[in-house]
Amino acid sequence: MNTPASFPTRSAYAFGDGALSAFSWALRRDLRLAMRSRAELGVQILFYIIVVALFPLSMAPDHQLLLLLGPGVLWVAALLASLLSLSRLFANDFADGTLEQMALSPWPLSALILGKVAAHWLTTGLPVVLLAPLLSIQYALEAEAVKVLMMGLLIGTPVLSLLGAIGAALTLGLRSGGGSLLALLVLPLYVPILIFGAASVDGIRGGIDVSSNFALLGAGLLLALVGAPFATSAAIRIALD
């Protein structure tokens, strides 16, 4: 259970360095909370593994078909694993009043949110990236394709967390249907990341230069890093009013 008393005081801010201190405090706090809820983290990772592992069992054992569908399956599973935990990104802090204290604190709310999003990615997105080479074996992906897949996931999964934070903030306080509305808000925003990420693997297997795909994913990451924390902050302030 989160405790509002754990929030830093004005004196702590006075000796800190503003946004960087806010980011590091929120990151450390959320990582500690995540480590106390290892069961939830395990469920998310297990969900990703099960989705990727079960998909080949539902189709004919065709080597070429697995090669063709593998990247898309891995990306869709990563997307769903990220979506699975988004509803809890701000929910507990909103319920116990911690989020309101964050909004009223002298620290920048956008920096605090960025720290929370970073913790979300470290506990949901990074395991997806690290597990991708192992899970891609059953799709018979070549070593070069696996490297491109990992690079795409490394760039793309933070975007999923950043965009998802906006949707999670917009659905704060909804008593019912919040999860469904969150999915409806976020999934359309995920589509370009999914397309460019999966297409990069198909491109490298076809001998096509995939630098443009990575450039677009990188541009999306930069835009999300700049805009998502401020958009999320505005949505949280509206939910708190």
Question: Within 8-62, where are the H helices?
Answer: 10-14, 19-36, 38-54
What mean pLDDT is predicted for residues 173-189?
78
Tell me the CA end-to-end span of the chain in Å, nearest whole number: 23
| Nearest-angstrom CA–CA distance, 26 and 204 | 38
**pLDDT above 50 (res 88):** yes
**For residue range 219-230, what is the model confidence (pLDDT) as tens digits?**
999 999 999 999
pLDDT at 178: 62
pLDDT at 240: 87
Task: Give tens-digit pLDDT for 189-221.
Answer: 999 999 999 888 888 877 788 888 899 999 999
Higher pLDDT, 33 or 64: 33
> In angstroms, what is the C-alpha Rg of the chain?
19
- Looking at the predicted structure, is the pLDDT value of residue 103 above 80? yes
Looking at residue 16, its pLDDT comes to 45
What average pLDDT does range 17-21 have in this prediction? 79
pLDDT at res. 215? 93
* pTM (2 d.p.): 0.86
- % the chain with pLDDT above 90: 40
Query: Could you read off the pLDDT of 136-163 as tens digits, one per residue?
Result: 888 888 888 899 999 999 999 999 999 9
Backbone angles phi, psi at 103, to 5 degrees: -65, -30
If one compares 168 and 179, the residue with the highest pLDDT of the two is 168
Q: Is pLDDT of 10 > 70?
A: no
- Across the range 86-100, mean pLDDT stands at 87
12 pLDDT above the threshold of 70: no
Query: Tens digits of per-residue pLDDT, 60-74?
Result: 677 788 888 888 899
Number of folded domains that form the chain: 1
> What would the mean pLDDT of 107-128 be, rounded to a whole number?
93
Scan for tokens 């395990």, then name that residue.
42
- Residue range(s) defining the domain that contains residue 43: 4-240
CA 69 to chain centre: 23
